[in-house]
Amino acid sequence: MSEATGPSSISDFHESLRSRSTTVEQVVSSYLERMALSRSLCAYLSEFAGQSLERARELDECLSREGLDRLLERSPLFGVPVAIKDNIHVRGERTTCASRFLENYRAPFDATCVARLRDSGAVFLGKTNLDEFAMGGSGENSAFGPTAHPLQKERVPGGSSSGSAVAVAADLALAALGSDTGGSIRLPASFCGIAGLKPTYGRVSRFGLVAFGSSLDQVGPMARNVSDLAGIYRAIEGHDPRDATSARIAPSGSGPSLSSEGRPLRIGVPAEFFVEGLDPEVKSTIDRVLERLRASGATLVPLSLPNLVHSIPVYYVIATAEASSNLSRYDGVRFGVRSEAAMQAESLEAFYEEARALFGREVKRRILLGSFVLSAGYHDAYYRKACQVRRLIAEEFTRAFEQVDVIAGPVAPGTAFRRGALERSPLQMYLNDLYTIPANLAGLPALSVPIGADSTGLPIGLQLIGRPFDENGLLQAGLDVEALR
């Protein structure tokens, strides 16, 4: 491991600890130094320098007393430096959701996923940037400045988990947590050339995650490779009684993987994923990978999922309706900054208007749209109808998985676009989620794996969608794709 860069993987990091060629404190210090030199990327909104170094020293003391192998038995992520998206609570630290409205809010408790990482031995480096309240697909909508792409700063890194993706891709963290409501882990993972997993809805507790769309949100890991994804995922999965949507199902770490089923991997290829609008370089790269998988023994199964065409309108009715409901609590009374203008308001309506003026444009747009679709006379025409079509989409996936083990396709229509290119076209920006949204609507696990780059060097990711609660099989398929590189 070079002094200029961090370890290439969790196993590489642990091997360096085992050989005594480095310490947890030295590795954490090197990450903190790179973070200080890379602030122009705007990947982090807060840095935990003092706390992370103190934690690293404590872990080094444990290491000298007990030895690594014994520690890894109970703390499989021993010493691993991790970044946390700033809509996930870390006790005593700011949770801003990249919004001026929550600029000074400090979390009174750990999110369940954070507590589980802490118990697994992870070291937290800081909180990462995002589109405000996780509403955006580019990383441009943060109140504290847009996140820059790690390879070409004039490009977007994807969103909303922009800072987490950039932190991992730019070697400012070994792994990170993000959240995914409509592609917010997979899209930035694809744009930045790393791996990202959205688990099955209910597989990872949402307790301590600031809600955007409660029936869609899911916490998931981001890392440089699929093996590291699996390690972070297995640390955070499992039932949580504090989350009413948490599934009562055995952890996936105890279940079989596809490789144990004794038959070739069956990969579904939906015709609807390869239509007009998909960048030719993205399509050709995916085609090459699928052909190589077929040559290595996998079976490619053509599929048709005709209801996917409705995914965008269905998502933007359901997600905005839930956002409107969830964000109603941010009123300057219970939560949020109470501005001087709000304090001087002469009526309650004026107070709310002034208090909520701190929301960014994209957040206001989604709240207004959601309030409209839930309003009297429109609920059945929009929200109820969207929920009915959502069920049709989920049922199509259920039928498809009777024939295949995973479904493959693009993560996005193209590679990372230039900053500001879609600023005047919200609809075009929303269409960038075309391929990622269906997995959220159906509650399915989905994975982005880097598979190459376009002619300008910008990364391309392959999306794999799995059966409900079959993260093991999905991760195994991701390893198969990764092996082709």
Is residue 437 within 8 Å of residue 464, measured between CB atoms? no
Does 11 participate in catalysis according to the annotation? no
| Residue from 120, 160, 161, 246 carrying the catalytic annotation | 160
Give the Cα separation of 465 and 410 in Å (integer).
Answer: 11
Does 385 participate in catalysis according to the annotation? no
| Residue from 30, 38, 85, 142 carrying the catalytic annotation | 85
Is residue 282 within 8 Å of residue 385, measured between CB atoms? no
CA dist 242 to 43, 207, 218, 220, 333, Å?
A: 30, 6, 15, 18, 25
Does 85 participate in catalysis according to the annotation? yes
| Residue from 184, 311, 324, 339 carrying the catalytic annotation | 184
Instruction: Convert 451-484 to b/e letters by CB count within 10 Å (16 or more is b).
Output: bbebeeebbbbbbbbbbbbbbbbbbbbbbbbbee
Active site residues: 85, 160, 184
